[in-house]
Amino acid sequence: MFPSSVVLACLEPLQRRDVCHRLGFDKPPLAQTPFALEQCKVVWYYALLEKINFMAFDERERLLDASLDDVVRDSDAPPMLVFYDKHLAVWTGRRKLLDLRTGAYVEKPLPSLETIGYDLVELWRRSTDACRKRQETPDADDVPTPGPGRTQGPHRRG
């Protein structure tokens, strides 16, 4: 779909190393190594979670471990990720919520004060567009990356 250098450009160096490890690479791939659509989705989902500043590092890792396969896999249902009160998460294909603090699956306890949802179909579309633009202008660092505001570095809390 896209060369790895284009797809990974939305991440900081440590984030690139981590996501490449999740993709099964012992070390970052060569710049022109092609990434299939599913690999691109893993990178884009990872980048989205890295930009959500209300999650601690261990909460982000729990969510990635639990949800990654479900959200990048093609299915009949459009992929969504929803947070309830910043510590519970649910995604397409799951009925119970993941408590990000403990890693346990729970029933939705009470009505939520705050609900944040991410349409991952739109994330895939915007990320694809950003990669196309990056590919057309490979030296441009100003191509916006979709998702919430960028953090200054990996795992920064707001």
| DSSP string of 69-127, one letter each residue | HHHHS--SSPPEEEEETTTEEEETT-SSEEETTT--EE---S--S-EEEEEHHHHHHHH
- Of 95 and 66, which is predicted with more confidence? 66
The secondary structure of residue 2, as a DSSP letter, is E
- Give the pLDDT score at 135: 87
For 31-90, write each residue's pLDDT tens digit. 899 999 999 999 999 999 999 999 999 999 999 999 988 888 777 777 899 999 999 999
Q: Would you place residue 146 in the very low, low, confident or very high pLDDT band (cuts 50, 70, 90)?
A: low
Of 3-17, 29-43, 65-79, 92-106, the one with minimum mean pLDDT is: 65-79
Decide: 19 and 50 in contact? Cβ < 8 Å. no
CA dist 60 → 21, 51, 81 (Å): 16, 10, 13
Domain ranges of the chain: 2-136
